[in-house]
Structure 1
Amino acid sequence: MFSPRGPSLRELAVQALSSVEDGYDLLAPKFDHTPFRTPGSVLDATAEALRPLGPFGRGLDVCCGTGAGLRVLDPLCGEQITGVDFSAGMLAQARGARPDVAWVRADVRELPFREEFGLAVSFGALGHFLPAERPALFAGVHRALLPGGLFAFPLSAPQPVTSRWYWMLLAFDLAMRARNTVRRPPFVMYYRTQPLHPILDELAAAGFAVGTAPLPALGRRPGGGPLCCLVLARKAG
């Protein structure tokens, strides 16, 4: 799963026993050589689905990490792109690769923007927020968007109980909950806390008009439905 340039098991263990912020600061120099970086296939499928809805002006990558989301924002946004994350280490890696982007360190539950962006995206970040924290995140993104602005992020369909991924993700979440029971500060990262319909309801409560678009390029479930969809949340105006 890891390239030779990726972290060792010891480094991953140290990260897992740290806080979320400290853990990503430690992992940052090798993050792009791990399977945790959003795959190019997901980014390309997202860009393809968003292309007919653009072009957009200024773009925002929420929980940007080392900047993978630029692969989506670059071709769609004709103005300044901004990435926001709370890990100084991840931002340092992103800034080194793309000094032309505005990299901002902030807690995304308290985004420091108001009506600035036409498009906001996020990749692989929702698992870092407990369900009770998502309303603050969504309200901040809503506030950061211009009237008519769009917030988009991919979301995987639930794995069937017969899938090995179902049991792998369940085991990971149980291990993380056990870790957070006995150690502080917690490391919040859960894969099974992101059901589609509650998230759509939370986005609607934040003031968005919500919908989804399938991402068929990422595969289909045995019943024919897409393995992944793109959540589309539009600010009124």
Structure 2
Amino acid sequence: MEAPTFRELAVQALSSVERGYDLLAPKFDATPFRTPEPFLAATRDALREHGPFERGLDVCTGTGAGLGVLAEVTAEPPTGVDFSAGMLEQAGVAHPEADLVRADARALPFVAAYDLAVSFGALGHFLPEERLPLFAGIHRALRPGGIFALPAAQGPRPTRPAYWMLTGFDLAMRVRNAVWRPKFVMYYRTHPRPALLRDLTEVGFVAGTTPMPGVGELIVARKKG
């Protein structure tokens, strides 16, 4: 697959989130933004310690990287939800067995339908004040005792160049969103672990973490049963 050109990435970055991903979808899997395979494999292995699972939901599924993980740890075909029609089209090609639903993750149309929900690499598209409605919708979509698993990569230390690259990216996006409409919400450093665990607990989860050696940790939030 051919990677997107600089011009294509620039057009995407100046669009809304939905339109931007519609444009990027055909080449998304050739970009560094796709969740890496080692991260997906580590998540799959960690999830097996908490199963078995019957039905799985991939929130903000994109082109469906998380659907492959769910297919390996759940008994039934997975469901993917996203608000980009272009990304869902690509997910359907890669995972024809999956049930794909176009919806806003902040208003999920499911009630007690799943016993596992996951989300990969999408949290940066939500502002801190949107975490509670996002988590509340996932909580509502799960059956009693169900798990929301949120893989979290190891954050770089301030002594590493990657730390300042991510910080600089967030600053550039804030400037972009201050002077350009429509906004494109994507930030890397707005969801610290303590805030995530606090908000998961507030909506009714019992939250903790499972180590994923070499890549990070899996935040495991269980709905009280």
Q: TM-score, normalised to structure 1's length?
A: 0.93
Q: 1:177 aligns with which of 174, 177, 182?
A: 174
Aligned residues of 1:85 and 1:108 also touching (Cα < 8 A): yes
- What is the match of residue 27 of structure 1? 24
Q: Secondary structure at the match of 2:183?
A: coil
Match of 2:61 in 1: 64
Residues of 2 paired with 1:156 and 1:76: CA distance?
21
Equivalent in the alignment of 2:8: 11
Match status 1:231 vs 2:214: no
Q: Report the 3-state secondary structure (helix = DSSP H, G, I; strand = E; otherwise coil) of the residue aligned with 1:80.
A: coil
CA distance in 2 between partners of 1:20 and 1:105 (Å)? 14
User: Which residue matches 2:89?
Assistant: 92
Pair 1:154 & 2:151 matched: yes
Note the 1:126-205 alignment, pairs <5 A: 126-205=123-202
Quick check: 1:74 aligned with 2:74? no
CA distance in 1, matches of 2:182, 2:171: 17
Identity %: 63
Match of 1:234, as an amino acid?
R
Secondary structure of residue in 2 paired with 1:217? coil
Q: Give the letter aligned to residue 212 of structure 1.
A: T
**RMSD of the alignment, in Å?**
0.9
Structure 1: which 5+ residue stretches go unaligned? 219-227
CA distance in 2 between partners of 1:117 and 1:102 (Å): 13
The answer to whether the 8 A contact 1:153-1:230 is kept is: yes
How far the C-alpha of 1:75 sits from its partner, in A, is 1.2
AA at the equivalent of 1:16: A
Give, as a single letter, the amino acid of the residue that structure 2 aligns with 1:202: D
Provide Cα deviations, 1:79-120, integer angstroms capped at 9, x if missing partner.
131000000000011112222110000000000000000100
Q: Any idea what SS the aligned residue of 2:214 has?
A: helix
Distance in 1 between residues matched to 2:180 and 2:99, nearest whole Å: 35
Shift of 1:178: 0.5
Task: Give yes or no for contact 1:180–1:186 (8 Å, CA) kept in 2.
Answer: yes
Shift of 1:74: 1.0
Secondary structure of 2:71 counterpart: helix
Match of 1:222 in 2: none
Distance in 2 between the 1:229 and 1:97 partners?
Answer: 27
In the TM superposition, residue 157 of structure 1 has moved relative to its aligned partner by: 3.8
